């Protein structure tokens, strides 16, 4: 049986990886990245300055200079042992994509290295075979990838070769965005200008502002033998059946616990490979659920942070194979224990090094901070449904609001101190620091410095001292989507704020007076979005309803925000998307939702008919035969045995009946021609049946002889490392 073979393999694993001697991460760091040092070494002065100006000031690199850059990049790549190059991009599949071309071309019977400006700047992948939401017909295949100089090229290593990877955007023949990066870059430019314009009120030397991001990545590790014995993990990334183990996470002993040796080796190799690619991983630890872990990097410019996170996920998967693990990025791979998120820590930094979300020692008098802070809250208030839509996926629906992650109600937590500051601001008073202890002392322990806010792990958008943490993003999501929404929302609000202030100034108001008056108006209109309590509570759900806040619990309904009036104001009016691109995004996300539920329904039916029913019926038959033997021998048949037969028989019948009902519901849903209606049908009529089927299957798992059960159980998947 596959389960017994998988268990035997998983429990006999040996730690083959050991790292002896000193490993210098400072030497590894950026060694496979075409960074500033590599550019200085391999580019001419003019080419180096051209790329630097593009990165720092957004200036276009002309084709002539691109030839010089291509020549230098080729020399660097060949010196690293690369044989191929690729345009590395992020289509709307949610993963990365690449098409490899060789540096080598035949000439006069010999092989020569060739890599031109055309190869660097532009390639032509198939735009109809990747998700496009109807922007391209299947017979119109041309699309373009175009070099993004702001994200450095890098060398991807595997066991047999090395490839030069060039980060790019992906657009259609007509220029519509078919990826996550192109809109993100537009949102970065938008918030740069909007925030810089605000800074000019206060800091004349500020010439640019950068959105900064740190992405925490949660994930599960499962032994590959056990993984391969679970068709649902292989096909869906999550278990669609499985009874909870006697011990899960209730003892809280896994969180921050000692990292298992085999897992540690995996983490260490990931960190080494990440260092080569310039990914600044800083933190590693056990997460709350057994088998769950987290890694987190240092903060970076938002474009690079997102590229690095996508690259990190690829890298983690690649290294996992070497250690005979499978890494699970699904938001809820196991029922009954915590799922995984991808916390996005976002802030704004000026070119002079000022964090615009840092309150400073006295937030009462830091008017620049209050301006950015209050307008960010207002942006969240006005765009809550868009932010909700940006993190909506079939897999994240399992996690949001499940007493482990922020709920589907979008709100902001700012902490008691800043709540007092804002209240005082509205009342033209200040908050005294006299009774506010800045530190904690415990005997001879060194002084513990307190932050100006506590943390609220239940809030989807929490202020954590000098940044906002968007906690509702799912672990498998490309962060470009929610961060594009956040950048655009905040930028749009700052633009509206500046218009109002400038209009007041033009009518004779003093600048500071105009700013304060408008800030008060903005804050009053956005206060409903602020909540300091337990976001998991039923009381908050009731209170949020009274406040008029949305509570959209499923993706099928949440995604419609992408074609709302607010979406037009936030995205279209600011040039992030066209109306056609927004409709296309909606279609792509609806299709993704439908397909994922469809696949889960199919694998659930497959498991029921090929893995669950056969051993259940076989065991039931053996019990019935035993009863017959007892009766034939005129021996008493115990009530317990009779009850067990009845219970197993009941759950078998219910499992089959409900599975047949689910299959019929799936067939009906497939007959819908409108994607929105089909998604709703899959949500209401197909997905809603999964838990009913699972209930009876999980009961059978408890009742059937363990030796006959074919699927690895939770206690094995979660605890065998």
DSSP output for 246-260 = SSSSTT--STT-PPP
Task: Assign 201 to helix, strand or coil.
Answer: coil
Spatial distance between the Cα atoms of 66 and 365, rounded to a whole number of angstroms = 48
Q: Where are the beta strands (DSSP E) in 84-179?
A: 84-88, 100-102, 104-107, 110-113, 122-123, 143-147, 154-157, 162-172
In the chain, the percentage of residues whose pLDDT exceeds 90 is: 77
Task: Kindly tell me if the per-residue pLDDT of 436 is higher than 70.
Answer: no
Q: Which residues pair with 144 in a beta bridge?
A: 171
Burial class (CB in 10 A: 0-12, 13-18, 19+), 441: exposed
Task: Kindly tell me if the per-residue pLDDT of 445 is higher than 60.
Answer: no
> Which domains are delineated in the chain?
28-179 (3.10.20.70), 190-212+353-462+480-569 (no CATH), 217-340 (3.30.590.10), 592-719 (1.20.120.1560)
Task: Quickly tell me which residue has 């995996």 as its tokens.
Answer: 266
Q: Count CB-CB contacts under 10 A for residue 469.
A: 25
pLDDT digits (tens, 9 = 90+) for 288-337: 999 999 999 999 999 999 999 999 999 999 999 999 999 999 999 999 99
Q: Maximum distance among all alpha carbons in the chain?
A: 106
Q: Is the dihedral of CA 673, 679, 680, 683 positive or negative?
A: positive
Residue 388: partners with Cβ closer than 8 Å, 6 or more residues away: 408, 410, 472, 550, 552, 558, 561
**Residue of 108, 147, 11 whose CA lies nearest to 716:** 11
Given this model, what pLDDT does residue 26 score? 86
pLDDT digits (tens, 9 = 90+) for 548-560: 999 998 999 999 9
> What kind and span of H or E run contains 379?
helix 367-382
Q: What are phi and psi of 350, to 5 degrees?
A: -85, 165
Residues in the chain: 721
Six token digits for residue 92: 């709307």
Task: Assign 251 to helix, strand or coil.
Answer: coil
Q: How confident is the model at residue 456 (pLDDT cuts 50, 70, 90)?
A: confident
Fill in the DSSP letter of residue 437.
Answer: -
Radius of gyration of the chain (CA): 28
Task: Kindly tell me if the per-residue pLDDT of 135 is higher than 70.
Answer: yes
Spatial distance between the Cα atoms of 48 and 37, rounded to a whole number of angstroms = 10
Spatial distance between the Cα atoms of 613 and 712, rounded to a whole number of angstroms = 16
Spatial distance between the Cα atoms of 605 and 656, rounded to a whole number of angstroms = 9
Dihedral angle computed from the Cα positions of residues 581, 587, 588 and 589, in that order, rounded to the nearest 10 degrees: 110
Given this model, what pLDDT does residue 452 score? 61
pLDDT digits (tens, 9 = 90+) for 216-272: 999 999 999 999 999 999 999 999 999 999 888 877 778 888 899 999 999 999 999
Six token digits for residue 81: 């042992």
Task: Kindly tell me if the per-residue pLDDT of 127 is higher than 80.
Answer: no
Q: How confident is the model at residue 546 (pLDDT cuts 50, 70, 90)?
A: very high
Given this model, what pLDDT does residue 450 score? 60
pLDDT digits (tens, 9 = 90+) for 78-98: 999 999 999 999 999 989 999
Fill in the DSSP letter of residue 398.
Answer: G
Spatial distance between the Cα atoms of 450 and 46, rounded to a whole number of angstroms = 49
- Nearest-5° angle of CA 597, CA 399, CA 288? 135
More confident residue, 182 or 130: 182
Q: In what order do the strands lie in the sheet with 281-286?
A: 281-286, 292-297, 217-223, 325-328
Residue 175: partners with Cβ closer than 8 Å, 6 or more residues away: none
Region 516-544: what's the mean pLDDT? 94
Spatial distance between the Cα atoms of 194 and 188, rounded to a whole number of angstroms = 10
Q: Judge contact between 254 and 337, C-beta under 8 A.
A: no
Given this model, what pLDDT does residue 111 score? 63
Spatial distance between the Cα atoms of 386 and 240, rounded to a whole number of angstroms = 29
Given this model, what pLDDT does residue 678 score? 97
Spatial distance between the Cα atoms of 693 and 651, rounded to a whole number of angstroms = 9
DSSP assignment of 617-653:
HHHHHHHHHHHHHHHHTTPPPPHHHHHHHHHHHHHHH
**Distances, alpha carbon 87 to alpha carbons 156, 292, 630, 681, in Å:** 12, 33, 72, 38
In the chain, the percentage of residues whose pLDDT exceeds 70 is: 94
Spatial distance between the Cα atoms of 584 and 563, rounded to a whole number of angstroms = 10
**What pTM value is reported for the model?**
0.94
**Distances, alpha carbon 587 to alpha carbons 584, 674, 687, in Å:** 5, 10, 19
Given this model, what pLDDT does residue 323 score? 94
Q: Count CB-CB contacts under 10 A for residue 55.
A: 17
Spatial distance between the Cα atoms of 50 and 285, rounded to a whole number of angstroms = 41
N-term to C-term CA, the chain: 21
Q: Which residues pair with 345 in a beta bridge?
A: 214, 469
**Residue of 468, 500, 502 whose CA lies nearest to 487:** 468
Task: Kindly tell me if the per-residue pLDDT of 171 is higher than 60.
Answer: yes
Q: Where are the beta strands (DSSP E) in 48-103?
A: 84-88, 100-102
Six token digits for residue 574: 């600011």
- Nearest-5° angle of CA 77, CA 78, CA 82? 75
Fill in the DSSP letter of residue 397.
Answer: G
More confident residue, 362 or 6: 6
Spatial distance between the Cα atoms of 194 and 521, rounded to a whole number of angstroms = 19
Q: Which residues pair with 169 in a beta bridge?
A: 146
- Nearest-5° angle of CA 298, CA 299, CA 305? 100
């Amino acid at each position: 049986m596959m389960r017994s073979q998988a268990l035997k393999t998983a429990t006999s694993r040996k730690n083959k990886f050991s790292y002896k001697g000193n490993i210098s991460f400072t030497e590894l760091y950026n060694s496979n990245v075409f960074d500033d040092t590599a550019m200085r070494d391999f580019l001419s002065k003019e080419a180096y300055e051209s790329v630097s100006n593009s990165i720092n000031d957004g200036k276009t690199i002309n084709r002539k200079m691109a030839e010089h850059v291509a020549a230098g990049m080729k020399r660097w790549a060949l010196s690293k042992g690369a044989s191929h190059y690729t345009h590395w991009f992020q289509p709307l599949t949610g993963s990365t994509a690449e098409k490899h071309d060789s540096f080598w071309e035949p000439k006069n019977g010999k092989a020569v290295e060739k890599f031109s400006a055309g190869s660097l700047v532009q390639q032509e992948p198939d735009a109809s075979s990747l998700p496009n939401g109807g922007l391209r017909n299947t017979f119109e295949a041309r699309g373009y990838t175009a070099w993004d100089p702001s994200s450095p090229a890098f060398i991807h290593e595997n066991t047999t070769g090395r490839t030069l990877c060039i980060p790019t955007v992906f657009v259609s023949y007509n220029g519509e965005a078919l990826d996550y990066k192109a809109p993100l870059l537009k949102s970065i430019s938008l918030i740069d200008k909007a925030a810089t314009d605000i800074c000019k009120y206060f800091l004349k030397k500020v010439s640019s502002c950068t959105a900064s991001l740190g992405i925490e990545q949660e994930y599960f590790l499962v032994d590959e033998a056990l993984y391969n014995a679970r068709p649902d993990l292989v096909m869906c990334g999550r278990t669609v059946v499985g009874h909870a183990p006697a011990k899960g996470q209730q003892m809280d002993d896994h969180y921050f616990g000692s990292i298992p040796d085999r897992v540690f080796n995996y983490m260490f190799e990931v960190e080494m490979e990440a260092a080569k690619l310039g990914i600044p991983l800083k933190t590693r630890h056990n997460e709350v659920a057994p088998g769950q872990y987290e890694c987190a990097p240092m903060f970076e410019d938002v474009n690079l942070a997102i590229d690095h996170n996508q690259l990190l996920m690829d890298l983690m998967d690649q290294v996992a194979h070497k250690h005979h693990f499978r890494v699970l990025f699904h938001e809820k791979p196991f029922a009954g224990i915590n799922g995984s998120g991808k916390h996005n820590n976002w802030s704004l930094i000026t070119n002079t090094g000022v964090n615009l979300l840092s309150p400073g020692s006295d937030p009462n008098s830091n008017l620049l901070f209050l301006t950015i802070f209050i307008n960010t809250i207002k942006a969240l208030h006005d765009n809550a449904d868009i932010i909700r839509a940006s993190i909506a996926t079939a897999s994240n629906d399992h996690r949001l609001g499940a007493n482990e992650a922020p709920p589907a109600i979008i709100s902001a937590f700012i902490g008691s101190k800043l709540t007092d500051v804002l209240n005082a601001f509205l009342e033209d008073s200040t908050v005294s620091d006299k009774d506010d202890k800045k530190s904690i002392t415990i005997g001879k322990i060194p002084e513990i410095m307190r932050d100006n806010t506590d943390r609220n792990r239940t809030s989807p958008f929490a202020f954590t001292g000098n940044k906002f943490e968007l906690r509702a993003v799912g672990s498998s999501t490309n962060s470009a989507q929610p961060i594009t929404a956040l950048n655009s929302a905040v930028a749009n609000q700052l633009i509206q704020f500046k218009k109002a202030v400038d209009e007041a100034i033009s009518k004779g108001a003093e600048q500071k007076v105009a700013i304060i008056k408008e800030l008060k108006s903005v804050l009053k209109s956005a206060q409903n979005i602020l909540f300091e309590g337990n976001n998991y509570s039923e009381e908050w759900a009731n209170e949020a309803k009274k406040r008029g806040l949305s509570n959209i619990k499923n993706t099928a309904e949440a995604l419609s925000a992408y074609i709302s009036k607010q979406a037009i104001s936030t995205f279209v009016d600011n040039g992030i998307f066209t109306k056609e691109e927004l409709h296309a995004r909606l279609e792509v996300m609806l299709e993704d939702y439908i397909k994922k539920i469809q696949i889960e329904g199919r694998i659930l039916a497959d498991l029921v008919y090929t893995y669950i029913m056969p051993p259940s019926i076989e065991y039931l038959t053996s019990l019935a035969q035993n009863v017959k033997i007892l009766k034939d021998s005129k021996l008493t048949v115990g009530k317990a045995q009779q009850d067990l037969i009845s219970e197993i028989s009941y759950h078998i019948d219910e499992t089959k009946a409900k599975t047949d009902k689910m299959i019929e519901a799936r067939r009906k849903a497939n007959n819908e021609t409108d994607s929105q209606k089909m998604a709703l049908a899959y949500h209401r009529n197909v997905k809603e049946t999964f838990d009913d089927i699972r209930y009876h299957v999980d009961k059978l798992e408890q009742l059937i002889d363990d030796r006959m059960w074919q699927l690895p159980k939770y206690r094995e998947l979660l605890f065998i490392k």
